[in-house]
A and B are shown apart, each in its own frame.
Chain A
Amino acid sequence: MKATSLYHKPLAVTLEEHPYIEDFLSSFGLEIQPTTTSLEEYLDTLDPDLLEDLGISSEQLRKSLDDFLAGMLALQSPLDKVESLTIIGGRDKTGRPEHIELTLRPGEVVCIVGPTGSGKSRLLADIEWVAQGDTPTGRKILINDQVPDSKWRFSTEHKLVAQLSQNMNFVMDLSAEEFIRMHAESRLVTNPEEKIAQILEQANELAGERFSPNTPVTSLSGGQSRALMIADMAILSKSPIALIDEIENAGIDRKKALDLLVKEEKIILMATHDPILALMGDRRLVIRNGGIDKIIESSPAERKNLIALEELDNKLLALRNRIRGGETLENI
Chain B
Amino acid sequence: MRFLTISGPPSSGKTSVILRVIEALQLREKKIGVIKFDCLLTDDDKRYAEKGVLVQKGLSGALCPDHYFVSNIESCVTWGHENGCEYLISESAGLCNRCSPHINEITAVCVIDNLSGINTPRKIGPMLKSADIVVITKGDIVSQAEREVFASRVKQVNPGAIIMHVNGITGQGAFELTSLFEEASDIETLKGKTLRFSMPSALCSYCLGETRIGEEHQTGNIRKMDI
Contacts and interface: CB of A to CB of B under 8 A. Distances in A.
B160 interface: yes
Contacts of A182: 118, 149
A236 B144 CA distance: 12
Interface size class of A (residues with CB under 8 A): 35 or more
Contacts, number: 114
Interface size class of B (residues with CB under 8 A): 35 or more
B114 interface: yes
A279 to B, nearest CB: 25
Contacts of B152: 156, 186-187
A68 B142 CA distance: 26
Contact of A60 (B122, B129, B145): B129
A156 B163 contact: yes
A289 interface: no
B159 A64 contact: yes
Contact of B148 (A68, A154, A165, A186): A186
Given A64-B129, A156-B163, A229 B145 contact: yes
Contacts of B130: 56, 60
B126 A167 contact: no
Interface stretch (B7-15, B52-60, B80-88, B172-180): B172-180
Contact of B144 (A63, A67, A153, A163): A163
B79 interface: no
Contact of A23 (B115, B156, B179): B156
Contacts of A24: 156
Interface stretch (A4-12, A129-137, A265-273): A129-137
Contacts of A121: 170, 172
B149 A233 contact: no
21 contacts: A27-B121, A27-B153, A27-B156, A28-B157, A52-B198, A57-B197, A64-B157, A65-B159, A71-B155, A125-B172, A125-B175, A154-B163, A156-B152, A167-B142, A168-B143, A170-B146, A172-B118, A179-B146, A180-B145, A229-B144, A236-B145
Interface of A: 23-24, 27-29, 52, 54-57, 60, 63-65, 67-68, 70-71, 121, 125, 129, 134-136, 153-154, 156, 162-165, 167-172, 179-180, 182-183, 186-187, 225, 229, 232-233, 236
